[in-house]
Each structure stands twice: as structure tokens, then as C-alpha cells.
Amino acid sequence: MRMPESDAARLFGLLGLTSVFGVVAVVSTPSAGTAIGIWPIVGATAAFIFTGRPAWPLLTVLVGLIGFATLWVDRPAGAAAGLGVGLALQAAVTWRVWCRGERRVIPSLLTNGDLSRLLTAVVAGAAVMAICAALTSAVTGWGEPRRLALAAATAGLASQLVLLPLLARLGTRTPAAGRGELAAQWVNIVVLAPFLFFNHAASVTLILILPTLMWGALRSHAYQAFAQLVVVAGVAVTLTTAGIGPLTGPGFGRFGPDSRGILLAVFVGTCALVVLTLVVSVGEQAEQQRQLAAERDRVERIVHGTSGVAIIGTDLDLNITLFNPGAERLYGYRAAEVLGGPVSVLSSHLRSDREVEREDDPAALTAGPRVLRIRRRDGAIRQHLLVVSPVRDDRGVEIGYVTTAEDITERIETEERLREALEAERAASERLREVDQAKDTFVSNVSHELRTPITSILGYTELLAEGAYGDLTKDQTDAVRRIARNSNRLLSLIADLLTLSRIQESGVGLADRELDLVEVVSAAMALVGVAYERRDLDVSVDLPPTPMPYRGDREQLERVVLNLLSNAVKFTPDGGRVTVRLADDGAHAVLEVTDTGIGIPADELEQLFERFFRSTLSQHNEIPGTGLGLPITRTIVERHGGRIEVDSEVGRGTTVRVRLPARHSDGPTPRTDPVRIAP
């Protein structure tokens, strides 16, 4: 795959820079030494970070070849090859640990976690370099293995610690130092660093540079602090390599010619660790302070922007430290009048048995939410819901309290009125139930009392019609027939009232037996057959070919079919059609009676199952009826656990649909499902 031009330019530039500084480092190494001083490993690591091509294994090989070429300038081929491999592996390991194996992603150096990952990366890379150097020395005989491993590892470690932070994404904290202070820092660095290395005093004097580096790390921008570190490291490397400074004194000669590079790496690495630790820690603290300040501002805006809830802060002595606009509105005091004063100014409470006795008792204050009656400054008495919570610092020590109060006077009054209304409604409902029960009892009793005299009237009319008391004239015979017909209608009405009263009583009036719904429908059809045979109606029935077992009251279910079929026949003019269908949909037995009759107005469908209700169309067409058939039908269906549905359209007919449970084996039970009525 072809490498993008930007990647190629960046890669060649970084590897070229690595080669140049590598040659310089090799040439400047003391003639008797085997190590190469501060190795320019950062260029190789940067090549892994900032380029996407070639793939990292190939790039590792390429870096190894460049390392071999630069070392071969002044080293044996075997030693150059071994150290070149160490260079490539050190760069690859450092990149994989620090960047988690991602290419062209700038790593962060913002938190202590980021710093830990960087340190882990450079230490791991230095360890790989130490192993390669020791093996190279052991195999080729170039130098002493432990000394070469230590020199190569410390050189690479120091180089990475100084320069890698400049490749990372650092914090954007605002420098605490002004321009004059920053200038003083740079002057101090530029003057003090050369002075300490030109001075051939004891090497312990080099620690005098640390306060200046720490000053910059604490007060200046992160990049400026690392730039100051690079200047100090550059001065130290340049002068020490030139044989100038405390690290080149005769006292270090007994450690061998490589001691100069090791001590230089230790010094530079120590300075880098100090600067790194301070820069990251200060940056993290600055970010935390920024977040805390933003959170504090947000909380203050919420507190001071809240007008519906009182928020009151106090110290441990219960002196008011916070009084928001909501508190001003609820208590009637201005904040300037109460700030710094005791909270008892607001404690003009009207006591109740549930309230605490002392408002200055912290344990009582934080006992939980409570409702207090408060007397405002203007004398008005209000109900407040108070919640008091302790305020703790970051160590968990209580430093005060915060109270939130909400005026719930209107809520309590509304709840009280609602409770009174509900109680009144409950009482009215109970009275209506009692009235309804009394009415039902009255109707039942009257029906029983009327049944005997009407039966007697019917008996005497039959005797009169048969001539038992003498022959009747034509007019007398017609009158007797009218008396008999109306008496029968009245007796039918009484029977319906008694039936409705009986089946509405829970647990009374319904049998629980095995039956066949097909036989029930057929029997009802036979009873109504006389009525529709005399009419010009097309009556059809669709029944299952096999029995439909069911458990219930056969007589009452026949009454359901009879009532629905009678209504369909009665309200359908001649030439119309009536269809009866019985089916099983798996969950229910469905009885459907459809007619093409006069229909029911949409605004009257809701009243259809009320006792004695008759639609305006039935009254207009003078169709007789009591208005009890459908209420009886619904009651029977619901007592069997089913429901009834009605669809109707004026002039086009009506469909009544009864759904009964497919197998109601536990006997009839009351059901509260509402009747569904659709226009």
C-alpha cells in the first residue's frame, strides 16, 4: 500500500533527525567508552506516534536498520547490530505502552494516570534496551555487559523523560507567573545552568538547578516548564560531552569511561521527573479547581435563581450564611437583614405535638422532613415543609447546615377540600346505593303484590270470555279481550322485574350445569319461530356442526338468545333480514344476532341497558316493549363472566354480540367488564 505523502515526509524527517543526532552522539562518545551517551531515541518513538504507515513491524525493522547504520560509524558491526535492534525495540515498546498501540493519536499528559502510563512506557522501553545491550556485550565482547546495559538504559530513559512530554497533549492552565516573573525564570535558567557546569566544584552543587526548574513547573505554562527543562538538559549534555563540568572530574574516573554518561543520564532524568511530577500535579489541581469553581457558580445560580423554594445555609453555630430569594419571599425578610444573625430569627413557629422542642438541636434539625406552621414577618401563618441536611467538607467533617423550605399551605388546603369532597361523594354514593336498593326492594315487593290480583283478573276474564256468566255482546267480548291482553302485558312486565331482581342478587338465580350452547340457541329459535313465521322476514342461523360444551344456567342463557332474537324480529320491518350466528374463537363462545331493522340513534346507545329505557325510534314506530329485556340480558351475560357489545346505525340495522368464556368450569361469577357500545 502506498504511503501518503504527508506520512512519508513526516517519517523521513523524524528518522533523518534520529540519524543525524545518532551520529553526533556516537562521534562525541569518549574514545575509551562503549556506550553512546544520551541516545536520540525520541525521534524513533515519534515516528511510531505520528505516522500511520508503514505497519509497525516494518517500521521497527526500518528503525533498527537506521540504528545499525549510525552506530556502525564508530562501533563494530556486531555491537552496532545488537544496539540497533535494542533501539528499535525500545521505541516500539514505548509507543505501544504509552499510546496503547494506536498510530497518529497524540497521547495526553493531563492526569497522574497519564503520567503513570508514560513512566511505565519509558521504563519498559529502557528495560528492553538494557536486555539487548547486555546480550550484545555478552555475544560480541563489546564492553562489560552490566555497564553497557546500565549506560544504554539510563541514556534512553533520560532522553524519553525530557523530550516525550513535548509530544503530548498538555493542560491549558493559565500561568500564575506574570511576564516579569517568567523573564526572571528564563534569566535564571540561562545563567545558572552554564555557571553550575562551568564550575568544577563538587557535583552536589548541580541540585541548585532544581529550585529554578520547580519554580517554572509551579508558576509557568506547562510547555514553558518543559522548554526550561530541555535547555538545562541541553547545557548538561553539551558541556559534559565536551569534558566540562562536575560530572567530568577525576573523581568519577575510577568507575570507568562510561560513568560520565550514566551520571549525566541520572542527573537529567532526575530533573525531568521533578518537572513532570509538578507540571502534571499542578495541572490536575488547576483543572479540579476550575471544575469546582464552575460547579460552585452553577449551584449559586440555581440557589439564587430559585424563587419558589427557600434555601437557608447556616454554620455550626446556626448563624445564617445563605438566604436566597425564595427564602426572602417565603419568610418576608431581606437577606441583608438576617445574614450573620441566628436562625432563631426565623423560628417563630406555632408548636404542635409532632414538632421538636428545640430548634438549636442539630440532631433534631436533621431528623427528617417535617411540616411546621410558620409565622411570617407580616404575621401571616403558613405551612412549610422543611428538610435540614448537614454540610460536610471533603474530609467528611460537618461545617454547617442547609435548610430547604417549601410553602405547602395551598396544597394542604386543597388536599383537605379534596378529602372533604371525597367523603361527601362517598356519603352521597352510599345514600344513592341505599335509595337504589330501596327502589329495587320496593319494585320487587310491588311486583309480588301485583302478581296475585292480575292473575285473578286474567282468570275472571277467561271465565267471562267463555260465557260462564252469560253470553256477551260483541262490544263486551272486545272489551274482555282488551282487558286480557293488557293484563298479560302487565304480568309479563312483572315477570321481567322479578327476574331482573332475582339475577342481580349475587349468588342467587343462576344454575351451574353442563349444557350445549348449540341446543340453547336452537331451543330459543324454536320459541321465536311462531313470531317470525307470520312475518315477511329472512331469518337464517349459522350453528357449529358439533356441540359446544358450556357450564352455566340453561334457562337464563335461553332467555338471552330469546331476548336478542325477539328484539331483532320486533324492530325489523317486513322484507328485512335477521341472522343468528354461534361460533368459537378459541377464547370465547361468540353469539351474534344481526338485523337490518330501524337501528338505534348513536346518542342513545349509552342508555340502551338502563331499565325501562326505550329508544325514540321504537316509540315513534309504536313498537311495544318494557325496556327490561336488554338489562336482563346484560346481567345474565355478566353473571356468566361474559360481556355484550352493540353496533348499530339508524336505518341500517343492529348487531348484538355476546362473548362468553370458552369453558366456564368454575360456575357463574360476577364480572365488572364494561359493556362496549359502538355506533
CATH number at residue 546: 3.30.565.10
- Give the span between the Cα atoms of 215 and 194, in whole angstroms: 18
Confirm whether 556 is domain-assigned: yes
Q: Residue 427 is part of a domain; what is its CATH number?
A: 1.10.287.130
Confirm whether 63 is domain-assigned: yes
Other Cβ atoms closer than 10 A to 462: 12
pTM above 0.85, yes or no: no
**Cell (9 digits) for 520:** 340453547
Angle subtended by helix axes 409-465 and 474-504, to nearest 10: 140
Confirm whether 597 is domain-assigned: yes
Residues 154 and 12 in one domain: yes
The whole-number pLDDT of residue 117 equals 92
Nearest to 673 by CA among 627, 628, 634, 629: 634
Beta bridge partners of 657: 592, 645
Burial 173-210 (b: 16+ CB within 10 A, else e): beeebeeeebeebbebbeebbbebbeeeeebeebeebe
Indicate the residue among 114, 130, 165 that finishes a domain.
165
Indicate the residue among 136, 165, 194 that finishes a domain.
165
Q: Residue 119: which domain range?
A: 1-165
Residues 478 and 613 in one domain: no
Residues 134 and 208 in one domain: no
Nearest to 93 by CA among 177, 38, 31, 157: 157
Residues 568 and 489 in one domain: no
Contacts of 111 (CB under 8 A, 6+ apart): 280, 284
Indicate the residue among 276, 305, 334 that finishes a domain.
305
Q: Residue 368 is part of a domain; what is its CATH number?
A: 3.30.450.20
Q: How far apart are the first and last CA of the chain?
A: 74
Sign of CA dihedral 659, 664, 670, 672: negative
Residues 279 and 330 in one domain: no
* Cα separations in angstroms, 55 against 52, 60, 552, 562: 7, 9, 83, 90
- Compute the half-sphere exposure of residue 451: CA atoms within 13 Å on the CB side of its CA: 13
Q: DSSP of 169-225, one letter per residue?
A: B---PPPSS-HHHHHHHHHHHHHHHHHHHHS-S-GGGGGGHHHHHHHHHHHS-HHHH
Residues 36 and 73 in one domain: yes
Residue 602 φ/ψ, nearest 5 degrees: -60, -35
Contacts of 310 (CB under 8 A, 6+ apart): 324, 326, 327, 329, 330, 331, 384, 403, 404, 405, 406
Confirm whether 381 is domain-assigned: yes
Is there a contact between 164 and 122 (Cβ–Cβ < 8 Å)?
yes
Is there a contact between 125 and 91 (Cβ–Cβ < 8 Å)?
yes
Task: Compute mean pLDDT per 10 residues along the chain, 679 residues long, and list them.
Answer: 53 60 56 55 81 79 79 78 88 90 85 91 92 90 84 87 87 80 88 78 73 88 88 82 70 58 84 91 84 78 77 86 85 86 69 45 63 81 84 84 85 87 84 67 61 71 76 79 73 64 56 84 80 77 88 85 84 87 86 88 77 69 67 83 87 88 52 38
DSSP secondary structure code for residue 153 in this structure: H
Q: DSSP of 539-568, one letter per residue?
A: EEEE--SS--EEEE-HHHHHHHHHHHHHHH
Helices (H), 513-661: 517-533, 554-570, 616-620, 629-639
Residues 264 and 219 in one domain: yes
- Give the span between the Cα atoms of 282 and 279, in whole angstroms: 5
Residues 528 and 566 in one domain: yes
Confirm whether 122 is domain-assigned: yes
Confirm whether 356 is domain-assigned: yes
Residues 468 and 578 in one domain: no
Sign of CA dihedral 28, 30, 34, 39: negative
- Give the span between the Cα atoms of 258 and 264, in whole angstroms: 10
Confirm whether 415 is domain-assigned: no
Residue type, 647: D
* Cα separations in angstroms, 360 against 74, 112, 352, 366, 386: 85, 45, 17, 11, 15
SS3 helix, strand, coil % of the chain, rounded to 5?
Answer: 60, 15, 30
Residue type, 130: A
What 3-state DSSP class applies to 126?
A: helix
Residues 65 and 209 in one domain: no
The backbone region for 369, taken as left when phi is positive above 0, alpha when psi lies in -120 to 50, beta otherwise, is beta
Omega before 54 cis (within 30°)? yes
The whole-number pLDDT of residue 664 equals 45
Contacts of 645 (CB under 8 A, 6+ apart): 656, 657, 658, 659, 675, 676, 677, 678
> Which 3-state string (H, E, C) describes 327-390?
HHHHHCCCHHHHCCCEHHHHCCEECCCCCCCCCCCHHHHCCCCEEEEEECCCCCEEEEEEEEEE
- Give the span between the Cα atoms of 59 and 619, in whole angstroms: 101
Is there a contact between 129 and 156 (Cβ–Cβ < 8 Å)?
yes
What 3-state DSSP class applies to 581?
A: strand
**Cell (9 digits) for 453:** 290480583
- Give the span between the Cα atoms of 405 and 657, in whole angstroms: 59
Confirm whether 110 is domain-assigned: yes
DSSP secondary structure code for residue 468 in this structure: T
Number of separate domains in the chain = 5
Residues 398 and 524 in one domain: no
Residues 426 and 535 in one domain: no
